[in-house]
Amino acid sequence: MEFRLRVFRFNPQEENAGRFDEYKLSYEEGMTFLRAFHVIKERHDESFSFRHFCRAGICGTCTVMINGFPKLACKEQVLPYILFADEITVEPLRNFEVIRDLAVDNEEVIGRMKAYRTWIADSSENKPIPPKVNKLIEKGADCILCSACQSYCPQVLEPDYAGPLFFAKIHRFLVDPREENKELRLKEALDEGHLYHCLSCNKCNNVCPKDVEPATLIRELMVYGDA
Ligand code: SF4
Ligand code: SF4
Ligand code: FES
C-alpha cells in the first residue's frame, strides 16, 4: 500500500519561508511516523531533519503535528491515517521556532524549567509519601516534556503565560510533602506564570500522550490559589 506524506521543509539559514515537500512511501507493517521519516532520510533526502531519541515514547523529543494534532512520531502508527486518506501532512510543533524542517527550538522550555526549579528543594528529612499523595504526584511526574500541550494551547501565544507543561510540573511539586517552598511555587504559578489566564478549554488534556491532564491539574492549582 502506498501513501503520500506532505512534509514541512525549512532551512532558516538559507530560505525566508518554508514549503511542503511530498514523498510517496510504501507502507511497512507496524510503520510509525518516525520510521517513515527515516525512510525519507535514507531513500529520498538525507538532509531531512527531525528529532528523536528513545523511540519508545519516553524521551518526548519526537513530537510533531500530524494532520494538525501534536503526536509522538515514534508511537503514532501510520496505518489508521492511510485507511481513510492517502495523504498525511506533517509539520513542526506550533508555538515554537523552527530550527530546521521538523526540529524546533526548545530553549525557552529548558529556560523556564530552570526558572521554575523543577526539582525538589534539598530536604534533610526523609518524609514518607502516603499512597494517595503519591497518586497525585504521579500525574505531573509522568510528564515527558514532549511539549504537545504547549503547542496546542491557545494561550501560549501570550508571552507571559507559562503554559500547561509548567503548571503540570508546579502542581507536582505543590502536592509533594517533601517540597519546602510551596508558597513560593504557588506565587510563581499565579504571578509569573499567569495561571488564571488559562481558558480551561481542555485542549492540553486532549493531546497529552501520557494522560497527565494538565488542564485538570491547573484547575486544582486554582483551588490552592483561591484558598
Ligand atoms: S486548558 Fe488552559 S493550559 Fe490547557 S490548552 Fe486550554 S488554555 Fe491552555
Ligand atoms: S503534560 Fe503531557 S503533553 Fe504536556 S509536555 Fe507533559 S507529557 Fe507532553
Ligand atoms: S523518540 Fe522518544 S518519545 Fe519519541
Calculate mean pLDDT across residues 166-185: 87
Question: What one-letter code names the amino acid at 109?
Answer: V
Q: Whose CA is nearest to atom 3 of ligand 3?
A: 57
Q: Is 145 near ligand 3, meaning CB less than 6 Å away?
A: no
In terms of domains, do 78 and 129 share one? no
In terms of domains, do 23 and 79 share one? yes
Query: What pLDDT is stored for residue 200 in this prediction?
Result: 97
- The tally of domains found in the chain comes to 2
Query: What pLDDT is stored for residue 225 in this prediction?
Result: 73
Query: Which atom of ligand 2 lies closest to the CA of 70?
Result: 3
Mean confidence (pLDDT) of the chain:
92
Separation of first and last alpha carbons in the chain = 58
Query: Which atom of ligand 1 lies closest to the CA of 197?
Result: 7
Question: What is the CATH number for 33?
Answer: 3.10.20.30
Q: Which domain holds residue 157?
A: 107-226
Q: Whose CA is nearest to atom 4 of ligand 1?
A: 204
Q: Is 38 near ligand 3, meaning CB less than 6 Å away?
A: no
Pairing relationship of beta strands 87-91 and 2-9 according to DSSP bridges: parallel
Query: What pLDDT is stored for residue 96 in this prediction?
Result: 96
Asked if pLDDT for residue 124 goes beyond 70, the answer is no
In terms of domains, do 167 and 212 share one? yes
Question: In whole angstroms, what is the distance from residue 145 CA to residue 134 CA?
Answer: 20
Q: Are 89 and 64 in contact (CB under 8 A)?
A: no
Asked if pLDDT for residue 126 goes beyond 80, the answer is no
> What is the per-residue pLDDT across 67-89, written as a single tens digit (0 to 9) for each?
999 999 999 999 999 999 989 99
Which ligand has the shortest distance to the CA of 59? 3
Among 52, 67, 65, residue whose Cα is nearest residue 91:
65
Last-in-domain residue among 104, 136, 154: 104
Question: What is the CATH number for 171?
Answer: 1.10.1060.10
In terms of domains, do 84 and 136 share one? no
Q: List the grid coordinates of 193.
A: 506564570
C-alpha dist (Å) from residue 147 to 182, 209, 211, 227: 25, 10, 13, 30
Asked if pLDDT for residue 36 goes beyond 70, the answer is yes
CA of 197 to the centre of ligand 1 (A): 9
Angle between helices 164-174 and 214-226 (to 10 degrees): 60
Angle between helices 164-174 and 131-141 (to 10 degrees): 160
Classify residue 181 by its DSSP letter.
-
